[in-house]
């Protein structure tokens, strides 16, 4: 269970800052700034909806890592879209397999994350179908850990997204080597500079 917890949290948090050369988001933004004109209009955002609670019950197959940006910086938005291309490589690195791994949601609010032979149980203690916000409670090393996810339906896909800032806060509290990990420290610096980054998974109902 410990391995599964770290895979889930580390994979999601690191996904927010991965790039081909592990460059910082700030450097990427500088490179992209020339691509955006001051008079360029932002593309229309796809319509977003949220599933009803009864639609969530069942087994959802993992369909890949996803990320988005809810802030108001055009440059950051384009940069995040670019970083998305690195997510398949990150999923492979952590052993996540589309179609094999899944999330099981019971009608009693139970939630189980399954990746290969690893299982991580949780309990959904709150879900609001208007906002898509779900509160998940994990039990890890005898401690109760709470994480908030947003479930959205967009472009025909269902996505479970976590606020990257909150993920970093969880890591700093529960991962003993957080301060020693230079990659995580770089990720924290980028995420703190550009609030609004979300990272998670696309899922398909079986």
47-59 pLDDT, tens digit each: 899 999 999 999 9
Per-residue confidence band for 170, with pLDDT thresholds at 50, 70 and 90: confident
Three-state SS at 166: helix
Is pLDDT of 150 > 80?
yes
Instruction: Report the pLDDT value the prediction gives residue 158, as an integer from 0 to 100.
Output: 96
Of 51, 56, 83, 90, nearest to 67 (Cα)?
A: 83
- Across the range 119-133, mean pLDDT stands at 95
Using an 8 Å Cβ cutoff, are 116 and 62 in contact? no
Q: What is the pTM of this model?
A: 0.78
Instruction: Report the pLDDT value the prediction gives residue 98, as an integer from 0 to 100.
Output: 95
Of 122, 111, 106, 203, nearest to 170 (Cα)?
A: 122
Q: How far apart are the first and last CA of the chain?
A: 24
Residues 6+ apart with CB under 8 A from 98: 61, 62, 63, 64, 91
Instruction: Report the pLDDT value the prediction gives residue 26, as an integer from 0 to 100.
Output: 52
Is pLDDT of 175 > 80?
no
Distance of CA 6 to the CA centre of its chain: 14
Percent helix / strand / coil, the chain, rounded to 5: 35, 35, 30
Is pLDDT of 69 > 80?
yes
Q: How do residues 182-205 score in pLDDT, each as one tens digit?
A: 777 877 777 787 788 898 999 999
Rounded Cα gap, residues 76 and 73, in angstroms:
5
Backbone dihedral angles phi then psi of residue 112, each to the nearest 5 degrees: -125, 125
Instruction: Report the pLDDT value the prediction gives residue 21, as an integer from 0 to 100.
Output: 40
Using an 8 Å Cβ cutoff, are 64 and 157 in contact? no
Per-residue confidence band for 38, with pLDDT thresholds at 50, 70 and 90: very low
């Amino acid at each position: 269970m410990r391995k599964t917890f770290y895979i889930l949290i580390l994979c999601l948090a690191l996904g927010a800052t991965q790039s081909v050369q592990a460059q910082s988001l700030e450097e990427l933004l500088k490179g992209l700034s020339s691509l955006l004109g001051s008079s360029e209009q932002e593309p229309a955002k796809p319509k977003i909806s949220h599933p009803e609670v009864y639609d969530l019950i069942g087994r959802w197959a993992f369909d890949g890592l996803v990320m988005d940006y809810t802030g108001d910086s055009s440059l950051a938005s384009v940069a995040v879209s670019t970083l998305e291309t690195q997510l398949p490589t990150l999923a492979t690195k952590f052993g996540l397999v589309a179609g094999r791994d899944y999330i099981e949601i019971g009608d009693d609010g139970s939630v189980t994350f399954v990746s290969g032979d690893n299982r991580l149980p949780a309990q959904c203690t709150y879900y609001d179908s208007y906002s898509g916000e779900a509160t998940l409670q994990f039990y890890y090393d005898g401690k109760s850990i709470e994480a908030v996810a947003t479930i959205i339906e967009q472009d025909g896909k269902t996505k479970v997204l976590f606020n990257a800032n909150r993920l970093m806060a969880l890591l700093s509290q529960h991962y003993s080597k957080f301060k020693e990990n230079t990659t995580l420290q770089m990720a924290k610096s980028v995420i703190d500079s550009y609030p609004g980054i979300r990272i998670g998974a696309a899922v398909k109902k079986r």
